[in-house]
A and B are shown apart, each in its own frame.
Chain A
Amino acid sequence: MYSDKKYLSRGEFIEQLGYSIEEAIELGIAETEDRLFFEKNIERRTAVRIIHEYMKRCLNLPDLDDISEAEKLKDLYDCHICVNHIAQVFCRGIMNEYKPGEFGLKCYISKEEAKNIAKRINDIRGLTC
């Protein structure tokens, strides 16, 4: 599944969830720009968007009301369209801080982290079945 590159591409990240890019767009998990930037390294802010949409649309997980745990992230509000994606994914323990107190919006996702994310999503998937 993974290329030899150090970081995961958007396409690889979506495929990790079990969908092609077209399927993901159709389901609303991915957006048109994800097709355009399919081979580019995926940033953490993009990953949380995709994961959050996957949780809502495919796992039918409602949003957590209490996202106070995410407020310790000093860059939480740096991207106003990412705030809830980050909060939901972080508070469910799917993605951690990039470094203490910081989510790392524009940092790329390594192969190692991708595997950890996949495992946590599988755990949640198991709980929702």
Chain B
Amino acid sequence: MKFDIERPYEPKNSEYRFDSFASGKTLLNKKKNILPPMGWNSWNAFGSGNTEKLTKIMADCFIELGLDKLGYKYLVLDDGCYLPERVDGKVANEETKFSQGFKALSDYIHSKGLKFGMYNDVGTNLCAGAYVGTCGHEETDAQCYVNWGVDFLKVDNCYYPWDNATFSDAQNARYVYAPNIKSISLEKVSDEADGKASNTNTAIKSAASDGVLWGEGAYVKEDYVTSIGTFDGTGPEHSPVGPLSSELRFIISEAPGEYLLKVEYSTGREVGVGSWLQIGINRAESAEADIVYDDFVEETKNGSFAWTEPIKISISHGENIIRIMNHRRQENTLCSYAKLLEGLNKADPNHNIILSLCEWGKTQPHQWGYKVGDSWRILNDITFRVGADGDPGHADWESDYTPGVAPQYNKAVIMDEFAGLDLGWNDPDMMMIGMDGLDMTQCATHMAMWCIMNSPLMLGLDLRRVNKGDDIYTIITNTDLIALNQDRLGIQGKRIYCSNIVTDPSTTYVRDNKRVDAVAKPLSDGSVALAFFNLDKDNKSDSQITISKDDIISFIGNKMVNKECFEKAGSYEIRNLWTKETATNSDGKFTAPVLEPCGNYVIKITPV
């Protein structure tokens, strides 16, 4: 189908649709069982000032520091490496900063035994503005990346034409919100039994009084329903757990047969009110809807309401649900990333390119990202004050928005059920260890958090600033912590204690950092890693905190390799993953000391 910038890619089959997000089925033979990637990304270190020379130096540093022996292997060029426009329809290297071209750089990195990563965007432009986004060029770009020997692709979401993404037209909201809905009408065409024309009156059902709101977001305003769509997950306001989109549903009690359905609507081009309507029918408890309409409707003016053309539908025996919805925010983005994956598969059916979805959590990718990707960003950036050559950049522990270790951790820590070897990994962004603004305690806790949460471990500093044996080196090379992240059981740690809440610590979204958390992670050798984090940057923790083996089992027993062995062990070996000291515990109660502000205590508990 010819590319049309006005039309989002069509979901190819039901597996691209919202109803299949929980199916666990990947698309396009996407390979799984890949542990969290480890490496270095240029953005936090050098911003758009990264160069070929700097990247080669970083590759050399990997070897000198022995990082390659510890699992760090991907060197990823982020934004700022391309010419601002395509050359003969293809992306090309910025000639001053990357004079030898990407293949030469790729060869250099591969010669060191490392892997080469690059960056692009599913929109029309990259975030820094270059008009080289993959939108409409997926096959061409994929071929280039394969030709250059790319092993990792980070793909951003700026200038995305089919959602109101960064730099996109704000009116693109028309794609991702349903219109305001006032009512539906059902006119019977024929009986199911004999197919004869019916003389039943048309039934009008009010959205406000007859409709049922499903999910979260949509609400009744005056006599209509508005905000039918999916939450924007870029900011830290919403929990990632629970319903993240909404629909208007009508439970139909009419007799089986053929009907003409019409919808009374009013369009807009802003957050909450769009022009794209999806109508699905779920018949007799079927899990997937029969999509009977999925397109723009004719736009109305000044908030006035109009009726759609009649849509022929069939109602069967049993419960039928008419769903008025718009899941295109998620489906459009999924289709775009799928298009790129298709291109990669066509260019090399045997490729092992890691696909890192960088749409900042906007479309709630933890629900669908596994189908096409290996990791998905969960929020906007962890820092907006990136470094440059000679400038380490700036990091914060916390903020009211997404910058900071704590905001990213606070969301990722309750997303463990969305990650795994058969899925992929939540990505709370590249690490900020080594940037100004974080002290060594905070850097150490940052590393421990990212490791136990199975996050991708992407260093973001100028590695020339690291010397073997210094504090940063000690933190980023902690083999015990890295082993947690790379444990072959592939289970993200679960928060099993949170000091300032009484609700379920594993799923409650907490943004108040005056607290201590405990996170437990089952390991492939039958051990459990237990980490305590003091999120408070001003105060020590109030007291020691004790977690029992029963606490641990109640939360992660079902994920343990040998729960019974852990439960019934007479004693446990406790290994402190920072000091490397070991001790024996025989009461099954594991106590963290009072923690410094932003401090952590991480132990590995092995049943004896």
Contact = CB atoms under 8 A, between A and B. Distances in A.
Interface string B362-405: 00000000000000000011001110100100100000111000
Contacts of A36: 84-85
A34 to B, nearest CB: 9
Interface stretch (B54-62, B122-130, B254-262, B302-310): B122-130
B100 interface: no
A90 B129 CA distance: 21
A63 B94 contact: no
A84 B384 contact: yes
Contacts of A78: 166-167
Nearest to B234: A77
Contacts of B166: 78-80
Size class of the contact patch on chain B: 20 to 34
Q: Chain B's interface: helix, strand, loop or mixed, by majority?
A: loop
A104 interface: no
A81 B380 contact: no
Contacts of B80: 31
Given A33-B129, A36-B85, A83 B400 contact: no
Interface size range on A against B = 20 to 34
B49 interface: yes
Given A32-B83, A36-B84, A71-B400, A80 B94 contact: no
Interface string B69-99: 0000000000110011100000000101000
A87 B166 CA distance: 17
Contacts of A87: 384
- For the residues of A in contact with B, the DSSP-based class is helix
A38 B522 CA distance: 57
Given A28-B49, A31-B48, A63-B394, A81 B84 contact: no
Contacts of A84: 384-386
Given A71-B400, A78-B166, A81-B48, A32 B384 contact: no
A36 B84 CA distance: 8
A32 B96 contact: yes
B360 interface: yes
Interface string A28-54: 100111001100000000100000000
A2 to B, nearest CB: 24
Interface of A: 25, 28, 31-33, 36-37, 46, 56, 63, 65, 71, 77-81, 83-84, 87, 106
Given A63-B385, A80-B381, A83-B385, 18 more contacts: A32-B94, A33-B129, A37-B84, A56-B391, A71-B401, A77-B401, A77-B402, A78-B167, A80-B127, A80-B360, A80-B384, A81-B47, A81-B48, A81-B79, A81-B127, A83-B381, A87-B384, A106-B167
25 contacts: A31-B48, A31-B80, A31-B128, A32-B83, A32-B84, A32-B94, A32-B96, A33-B129, A56-B391, A63-B385, A65-B394, A77-B384, A77-B402, A78-B167, A79-B127, A80-B166, A80-B381, A81-B47, A81-B127, A81-B128, A83-B381, A83-B384, A83-B385, A87-B384, A106-B167
Q: Which 5 A-B pairs have the closest CB atoms?
A: A83-B384, A33-B84, A84-B385, A80-B381, A84-B384
